[in-house]
Every structure is written in C-alpha cells, then in structure tokens.
C-alpha cells in the first residue's frame, strides 16, 4: 500500500484521535474545549465579515463546499422537515403532497419504502452518526440536494467516503456561541454582540447548557437547541419558508427507536436528559419569534412531547390531496 494511502487510515485511528483530543484538552483553555475534535486536522477559513466560508483538511482532500451566502433562497411557501421519530413510519408519503423537503440524519431511509420521495435539503451535525451509519450517509451524499454539515462532520465525510461518489452540494455551518477555532463566547459577550440584532435573536445568554436563541441568517451562525430539529428549523426559516410542517418530532426516547432503527440496535440519544431544561424552552421561545415573524409551524406528530401551545398539532392526513382526505378527522 502506498505511504500516502495510509494517511486517512491513521487520521481516523481511534487511539490517535482520542490521544490528540486529550492533549488539546489539557493544553488549552476551557473556552477552547469545543475545538478539540478539529485540532490538528482542520483549519477553517472566514470571509471579511468573519463568517465561516470553508475549511482545509490536513492529510485528506474533502469534497467541494459552497458558502452559505451563495445558496439560492426564497422558498416562499411550504416546507417539510422530516425527522426520525417513530411516528414518521405511520405517514404514507406516496400520497402526500409536498414541495420543499428537508431531512436529517437517517431520514433518507424512507426512500426504501417511498422511492418517489425527494429531499431538497439535508442536515447532519453528529459525527457519530456519520461513523456508525455509513450506509445511510452514502445514500445522502449520492442525492442531488444541499447538505448542511459542521466542520467536524465534513472531516469525517472526507475520511470515510470517496469524493467521486459525492453528488450533493455541501455547505458548512457553525454555532453562534462556539464558533470553530475560536474561544467559546461568554454570556456577556453574546449580550453585547447580539443584544439588538434582528437576525441573531438572543433569548438567554446565561443558559447553563448553551445560549438560547434563533438565527434568521444561517451564514452568520446558528443556535443549538439540543436537537438537529432545532438547527434545521432555523435553516428553513432562513431559506424563506413561510409554513413549516414538522414530521416525526416525537422528542421522546421512550416512544421507541427511530423509525429506521430496530429495538436493541439504537444509537444513543440525549433527548430525555435534555428535554425539560434545554430542548423544550428553546422551541417554546422560537415558536413565539416565528409566530411574530409570520412563519407558521405545524407539528405532524400528534403524540409529540411538545405541547400544542408551542406548535399546533395536525394529523399527517392534512397533506393528502383533497379527494384523498378522510371525511372525518382521524383519531388523535
């Protein structure tokens, strides 16, 4: 095997990456801790306004990326965010009328049952998912869509997949309070920077887990809300959606495995641990902001842990063509 061919294998070696993380962790200030998975493998690039514009990988060549501000926007109508809750399995996508569709992580598995389902956008922010479900990630990369990823996820895509198999367009994003290769912002810094910002709306800079807020300009960064669903909702609002339908936003691990997983073979989740203190408050505040901005959001998971006072719940049959809708409302 050529010497250069060994480089990607070494870079994804668990002992090597774990050792480097420990080295970084104990030689850098705590405010830099969120960068430990990037060093020394990734160098990010920024434009004149400080926005993330790309990144360089060391030892491996990644697929081409496109800056967020170069993506066409203006959905202007309905958009559908398909998540991974078990309730998604109850939806007959062969009968649903949908225009703009966004998926996350394992949503692509629906195409095995509904081949006509097409995704326009996709989001991944969990590198663990990329490493453990390469079969599903490969399917996403082969689609004609826009894939939003963090620099860490981008690095693992470059390590695990041949660039020649990547058909999608990849755009990088980061979180506002912990930007790539910059110190984590202190609450008072966020308040000073974003106190009156109409596009990066700060709800709570002092939240013990992560700063709560909502971004209406993804190119400037996004707020974490404890789940990829919250990240994706910000993307759709930024892309111009006026109505968003949330599919599979069950938000409880006790409801069963994700729709594409089998019992006993689920990837770990922090939903139950983070729901009350992090996830629910973030969605509650976001719902008020979106309502004030004239953006409607409907939750198609009638058994979702999120209350109807946050997002109005509707049965998925509201997506059927008028002639196919039931004469009576389905049981909720």
Residue pointed to by tokens 């389905």: 330
pLDDT (0 to 100) of residue 71: 95
171-204 pLDDT per residue, tens:
999 999 999 999 999 999 999 999 889 999 999 9
Dihedral of alpha carbons 172, 217, 272, 25, sign: positive
Task: Judge whether 50 and 39 are in contact, CB under 8 Å.
Answer: no
For residue 209 the two structure tokens come to 């887990």
285-312 pLDDT per residue, tens:
999 999 999 999 999 999 999 999 999 9
- Ramachandran bin of 242, using left for φ above 0, alpha for ψ from -120 to 50, beta for the remaining angles: alpha
HSE, CB side, 13 Å, CA atoms: give it for residue 301: 25
pLDDT (0 to 100) of residue 256: 62
pLDDT (0 to 100) of residue 322: 72
Rounded mean pLDDT of the chain?
Answer: 88
Q: What share of the chain is helix, strand, coil (3-state, %, to 5)?
A: 35, 20, 45
* Three-state secondary structure call for residue 164: helix
Encode 221-245: b = buried (16+ Cβ within 10 Å), e = exposed.
bbbbbbbbbbbbbbbbbbbebeebb
pLDDT at 12 over 90: no
pLDDT at 166 over 60: yes
Contacts for 50 with CB less than 8 Å, ≥ 6 apart:
none
Other CB atoms within 10 Å distance of the CB of residue 9: 11
Average pLDDT over residues 84-113: 94
* Three-state secondary structure call for residue 214: strand
pLDDT (0 to 100) of residue 13: 57
* Three-state secondary structure call for residue 157: helix
For residue 298 the two structure tokens come to 């409907």
Task: Report the percent of the chain where pLDDT is more than 70.
Answer: 86
pLDDT at 168 over 70: yes
Instruction: Tell me which residue of 146, 142, 143, 152 sits closest to 123, measured CA to CA.
Output: 146
Encode 80-106: b = buried (16+ Cβ within 10 Å), e = exposed.
bbbbbbbbbeebebeebebebbbbbbb
pLDDT at 252 over 90: no
Runs of H (alpha helix) within the chain: 6-11, 14-25, 127-132, 134-141, 151-160, 187-194, 228-238, 271-274, 280-292
Average pLDDT over residues 80-92: 94
Q: Is 299 exposed, middle or buried (0-12, 13-18, 19+ CB in 10 A)?
A: buried
Task: Judge whether 204 and 162 are in contact, CB under 8 Å.
Answer: no
* pTM of structure: 0.90
């Amino acid at each position: 095997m050529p010497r250069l061919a060994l480089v990607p294998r070494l870079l994804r070696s668990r002992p090597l990456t774990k050792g480097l993380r420990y080295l970084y962790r104990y030689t850098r200030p705590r405010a830099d801790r969120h960068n430990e998975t990037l060093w020394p493998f990734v160098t990010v690039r920024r434009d004149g306004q400080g926005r993330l514009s790309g990144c360089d990988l060391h030892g491996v060549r990644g697929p081409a990326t496109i800056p967020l501000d170069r993506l066409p926007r203006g959905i202007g109508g309905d958009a559908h965010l398909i998540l991974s809750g078990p309730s998604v399995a109850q939806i007959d996508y062969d009968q649903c009328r949908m225009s703009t569709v966004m998926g996350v992580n394992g949503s692509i598995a629906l195409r095995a049952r509904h081949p006509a389902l097409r995704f326009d956008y996709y989001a991944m922010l969990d590198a663990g998912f990329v490493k453990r479900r390469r079969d599903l990630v490969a399917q996403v990369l082969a689609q004609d869509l826009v894939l939003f990823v963090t620099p860490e996820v981008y690095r693992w895509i470059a390590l695990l997949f041949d660039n020649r198999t990547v058909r999608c367009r990849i755009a990088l994003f980061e979180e506002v309070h912990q930007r790539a290769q910059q110190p984590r912002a202190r609450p008072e810094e966020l308040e000073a920077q974003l106190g009156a910002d109409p596009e990066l709306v700060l709800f709570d800079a002092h939240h013990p887990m992560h700063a709560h807020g909502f971004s209406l300009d993804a190119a400037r960064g996004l707020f974490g809300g404890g789940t990829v669903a919250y990240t994706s909702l910000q993307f759709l609002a930024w892309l111009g959606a006026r109505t968003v339908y949330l599919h599979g936003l069950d938000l409880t691990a006790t409801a069963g495995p994700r729709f594409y997983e089998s019992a006993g073979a689920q990837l770990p989740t922090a939903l139950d641990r983070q729901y009350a203190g992090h996830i629910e408050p973030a969605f509650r505040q976001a719902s008020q902001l979106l309502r004030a901005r004239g953006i409607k959001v409907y939750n198609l998971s009638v058994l979702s842990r999120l209350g109807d006072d946050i997002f109005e719940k509707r049965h998925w049959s509201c997506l059927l063509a008028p002639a196919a809708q039931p004469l009576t409302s389905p049981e909720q």
